[in-house]
Amino acid sequence: MTDSPEPFIQIRDLHKSFGDLKVLQGINLDIPAGEMVSVIGPSGSGKSTLLRVLMTLERPEQGEVLIGGEPLYSMDGEGHTTLPPKAQFRALRNRIGMVFQHFNLFPHMTVLRNVTEAPVRVLGVSRKDAKAEAMKYLDEVGLAEKADAYPAQLSGGQKQRVAIARALAMHPEIMLFDEITSALDPELVGGILALLDRLGKRKEMTMLIVTHHMNFARQSSDRVLFFDGGVILEDGKPDDIFTHPTHDRTREFLKSVLEV
């Protein structure tokens, strides 16, 4: 995987503002296929915004993003970002999955239906095949026996597992996880982090994980990004960032979160 000629995700000088508020102020990032990257940093530093821009939930006003060499966002002659033609854009977007803090399951559908809905409707998979696949992913996240339950009958941790299975069922090459354990009771967090760790070790997907679990970031990821004020202030191997960060700002942040 690492012998591909170019990084799988390439981000160049990415900018995103909300009104006067500059949230991403020139993000540059290359991520090889299969890498698991943890994103840490203070509240409001732009972590979620970067993921939302990659998921195409927000449009950047400047910058470029290539996925597998194909442009998701590119610049026109006047310095504005442009999107590829609709079909191409949709195809690229389908290669990216995201799991959020709040699981947003369809409440009126069973667990199984939650997982099969998008493969059937978006990918055109037959319901039979989608079910077989869904059971495989539910088994993977330890919830095969809950296939016929409704979301309201599940714990928060179980709901989050369903959300992960639902995202996996779309076979994304890139998975974005935004603080997916933040809404969970503490005793449910470990299981979700162990699942992420397992997915990362397989190297089948490129993963970006916004997390405030520093032990997880240090022990499970291949690489850690420290965000501050809309830029990536540090980018390196977990041990390097945690043991000798190059910026005082990183040291202060780590000190404050590790003291909690």
Ligand X SMILES: Nc1ncnc2c1ncn2[C@@H]1O[C@H](COP(=O)(O)OP(=O)(O)OP(=O)(O)O)[C@@H](O)[C@H]1O
- What is the closest distance, in whole angstroms, from the C-beta atom of residue 242 to ligand X in the complex? 19
Site for Mg ion in 223-242 (CB under 5 A): none
Name the residue nearer to ligand X (CB basis): 39 or 192. 39
CA 212 to chain CA mean position, Å: 14
Residue showing tokens 């409001």? 44
Token representation of residue 116? 């099969």
Report 74-103 residues binding Mg ion (CB under 5 A).
none
Strand, coil or helix: 154: coil
**d(C-alpha 174, C-alpha 166), whole Å:** 14
Contact (CB, 8 A) for 162 and 141: yes
What contacts 238, CB < 8 A, 6 or more positions away?
Answer: 38, 217, 218, 219, 221, 222, 223, 224
18 binds, among Mg ion, ligand X, none (CB under 5 to 8 A by kind): ligand X
- 43 makes contact, choosing from ligand X, Mg ion, none, with CB < 5 to 8 Å by partner type, with ligand X
Residue 44 binding result from Mg ion, ligand X, none, given CB thresholds of 5 to 8 Å by partner type: ligand X
Residue 33 interacts with, from ligand X, Mg ion, none (CB under 5-8 Å by kind): none
Task: Decide: is 48 part of the binding site for Mg ion (CB under 5 A).
Answer: yes
Q: Which is nearer to Mg ion, 66 or 207 (CB)?
A: 207
- Among 43-51, 76-84, 161-169, 183-191, which window interacts with Mg ion (CB under 5 A)? 43-51
Nearer to Mg ion, 48 or 62 (CB): 48
Q: How far is the CB of 135 from ligand X (least distance, A)?
A: 34
Q: How far is the CB of 178 from Mg ion (least distance, A)?
A: 6
Q: Does 38 bind Mg ion (CB under 5 A)?
A: no
Compute the least distance from the CB of residue 221 to ligand X, in Å.
17
Applying CB under 6 A, the residues found at the interface with ligand X are 18, 21, 23, 41, 43-49
DSSP 57-95: SS--SEEEEEETTEEEEEE-TTS-EEPPPHHHHHHHHTT
Minimum CB separation of residue 245 from ligand X in Å reads 18
What is the rounded CA–CA span in Å between residue 27 and residue 227?
10
Stretch binding Mg ion (CB under 5 A), from 48-56, 120-128, 132-140, 189-197:
48-56
50 versus 193: smaller Cβ distance to ligand X: 50
- Please name which of 118, 64, 122, 114 lies closest in space to residue 91, comparing C-alpha atoms: 122
Min dist. Cβ of residue 51 to ligand X (A) = 8
Sheet harboring 70-75: ordered strands across? 21-31, 9-18, 62-67, 70-75, 81-82
- Give the pairing type, strands 81-82 and 70-75: antiparallel
Write phi, then psi, for 14 (nearest 5 degrees): -85, 130
Binding site for Mg ion (CB under 5 A): 48
